[in-house]
Amino acid sequence: MLKDQFYNYIQDLQDRITSSLETLDGTARFKEDIWKRAEGGGGRTRVIENGGVFEKGGVNISAVHGELPKSMQQHFGVSEADFFACGLSLVLHPKNPMVPTVHANWRYFEMYNKDGEIVDQWFGGGQDLTPYYLFDEDAIHFHSICKNACDLHDKDFYSKYKSRCDAYFWNAHRNEARGVGGLFFDYCKASEHMSMNQWYDFVTEVGNSFLDAYVPIVEQRKDLEYSKEQRDWQEIRRGRYVEFNLVHDKGTLFGLKTNGRIESILMSLPPHAQWVYDHYPKAGSEEERLIEVLKKPKNWV
């Protein structure tokens, strides 16, 4: 069954990612928290804190099932139904402001009628990069890996899902992007062009590409020197990250409205952030250059 196949996949992917990140960090280990959901299912949360490279990060998997919550019934326009949802979600906040924050998510959803038959199913996910200091080659590398993964399945996927990522991770109240984007796809359903098994192959291709997309960037930047002022800038930008997650992010808002597991939902928030009144970077600075790029998403590859 597809749901078992995908859940086995994300369990293995979580192991691969956390193992690789522990090696990269060199100091801290992931703390594991196994939790159960009263209504059905549960998850395996892994959090790393105060490491040599990662100030805070989480790589979480969950598989939950049961009666579709009322808010979801309204959202999907259905009456009583049952559901199954599983996914892997990760956010990593590095200590060094020269290393970008990264977010990724890959998920699968099924909905059933009263006889237990699947009436709807889809995949979703993506990965995106949020730098504090913009090294163009890092953005190019990240997007190149994303494009390569997409091109193996459909030559149109990269431009389509890159554009959706730019549109989704848009901090509308600030009129700027959260970061330099990546991929975002949702409601990937069977059609005459793609079967559910082909969608599975695509989503797992993207998931498998994550470490190749991010780890080389961390290795390149983690030992660069930085000043107190650059650290302050990182924390000011992290404030914008928090704003996006709490004001606009559908997954966060959905979790908060449906009695989701609060520790897993808020795992994405950085440990230190700042909100400075009416803050603008100096003209001609690297900080200003980042802001200019965030105001108008670029094509990196």
Catalytically annotated residues: 103
- Of the candidates 286, 184, 279, 284, the residue with the CA atom closest to the CA atom of residue 239: 279
**Residue 155 carries which DSSP code?**
T
Rounded CA-CA distance 213/128 in Å is 10
Give Cβ neighbours of residue 2 (< 8 Å, ≥ 6 apart). 108, 121, 196, 197, 200
State the Cα–Cα distance between residues 49 and 69, nearest whole angstrom.
33
Asked if 32 contacts 46 with a C-beta cutoff of 8 angstroms, the reply is yes
Q: Where are the alpha helices (DSSP H) in the chain?
A: 2-25, 70-76, 136-151, 157-168, 196-221, 228-247, 250-257, 262-265, 286-295
What three-state secondary structure class fits 232? helix
Reference 103, options 210, 208, 204; nearest CA is 210
Distance CA 208, CA 229 (A): 36
d(CA 135, CA 154): 29
* Residue 68 phi, psi (nearest 5): -65, 125
